[in-house]
Amino acid sequence: MKRGSTFSPGELFIVATPIGHLKDITFRALEVLKTVDLIACEDTRRTLKLLNHYGLKKPLISYFHPREKQKIPFLLKKLKEGQKIALVCDAGTPGLSDPGFPLIREALQAGIKITPVPGPSAITAALAASGLPTHRFLFLGFPPPKKEGTRKLLREVAAEPGTLIFFLPARRLEKFLALVKEILGNREIVIAREISKIHEEFIRGQVEEILSQINHHFLKGEMTLLIRGQQK
């Protein structure tokens, strides 16, 4: 921000919400959700569950991929009119591999004040409990949907010494790990799923070992996959 620049009276709060356990939310996040004029969320049903748990009632607007850009003009208009809006995602911190990024970028370009409200993140929660090196890591989000795109990405990060972190739907796990073995070798990996929920699970081992277990271990939903970086 340039010295002397001014913001519009509106404010966009980037509010982290629980990734599982509904108690994993900060007092400040609840305070913000209570005082804003509007909440922009991915799935209104998910956000409504959180609000109901804490006895909060606020107008919600659905803001989800791939139609998020259709809602940006409306949200920017409200912000420029002086409204305070909370941006939340289904779980964790908005803007990280979710539809929040375009709105944050557009709001900044429009001179809107952006205020982060830190809290839960599957990335840091999984990394902290993984047992893999934490001093350096590279978050890569969801891998490309096509095999060749995934191959290209893995080749690009093959020499990265830091821990690699991906988000991955369970249905893609087996094919993705096969490509990891092919390109990165039989590295140490950790699969973190259902973090902070009743069935929280961390699966640790070498790629070959995990691949051999998949057929006997039913997994569903989305997971955070960590891969040890290239060792010298």
Q: Do residues 155 and 56 share a domain?
A: no
Q: Do residues 27 and 115 share a domain?
A: yes
Residue 3 has what pLDDT?
47
Q: What is the mean pLDDT of residues 77-86?
A: 96
Q: Which helix (H) or strand (E) holds 222?
A: strand 222-227
Tell me which of 41 and 3 has the higher pLDDT. Answer: 41
- pTM, to two decimals: 0.89
Residue 215 has what pLDDT?
66
Q: What are phi and psi of 96, to 5 degrees?
A: -105, 100
pLDDT at 81 over 60: yes
Q: Do residues 80 and 44 share a domain?
A: yes
Tell whether 217 is covered by a domain: yes
Residue 221 has what pLDDT?
85
Q: 7-37: per-residue pLDDT in tens?
A: 557 999 999 999 999 999 999 999 999 999 9
Residue 67: band (very low, low, confident or very high) from pLDDT cuts 50, 70, 90: confident
Q: Do residues 106 and 194 share a domain?
A: no
Residue 70 has what pLDDT?
85
Task: Return the closest-CA partner of residue 139 out of 149, 152, 125.
Answer: 125
Residue 93 has what pLDDT?
94
Domain boundary among 120, 137, 161: 120
Q: Do residues 19 and 83 share a domain?
A: yes
SS3 content of the chain, % helix, strand, coil (to 5): 35, 20, 40
Residue 205's domain comprises 123-227
Q: Do residues 83 and 160 share a domain?
A: no
- Which CATH number characterizes residue 81's domain? 3.40.1010.10
Q: Do residues 142 and 222 share a domain?
A: yes
Tell whether 1 is covered by a domain: no
Residue 97 has what pLDDT?
79
Residue 207, token pair as written in the block: 């790629």
Residue 216: band (very low, low, confident or very high) from pLDDT cuts 50, 70, 90: low
Length of the chain, in residues:
232
Q: Do residues 160 and 195 share a domain?
A: yes
**Are the C-beta atoms of residues 35 and 45 closer than 8 Å to each other?**
no
pLDDT at 66 over 80: no
Q: Do residues 19 and 87 share a domain?
A: yes
Q: Do residues 22 and 88 share a domain?
A: yes
Task: Return the closest-CA partner of residue 103 out of 182, 187, 42.
Answer: 42
pLDDT at 194 over 80: yes
Q: Do residues 29 and 129 share a domain?
A: no
**Are the C-beta atoms of residues 115 and 29 closer than 8 Å to each other?**
no
Q: What are phi and psi of 82, to 5 degrees?
A: 105, 5
Residue 63 has a CB neighbour count (10 Å cut-off) of 29
- Which CATH number characterizes residue 140's domain? 3.30.950.10
The Cα-based distances of 20 to 9, 47, 49, 92, 101 in angstroms read: 34, 12, 12, 9, 22
Tell whether 32 is covered by a domain: yes
Tell whether 232 is covered by a domain: no
Q: Do residues 102 and 133 share a domain?
A: no
Residue 198 has a CB neighbour count (10 Å cut-off) of 7
Tell whether 5 is covered by a domain: no
Tell me which of 7 and 177 has the higher pLDDT. Answer: 177
pLDDT at 68 over 80: no
Residue 4: band (very low, low, confident or very high) from pLDDT cuts 50, 70, 90: very low
The chain-wide mean pLDDT, for the chain, equals 92
**Are the C-beta atoms of residues 203 and 190 closer than 8 Å to each other?**
yes
Residue 100 has what pLDDT?
86
Residue 27 has a CB neighbour count (10 Å cut-off) of 7
Instruction: Report the alpha-carbon distance of residue 78 to residue 91 in Å, rounded.
Output: 24
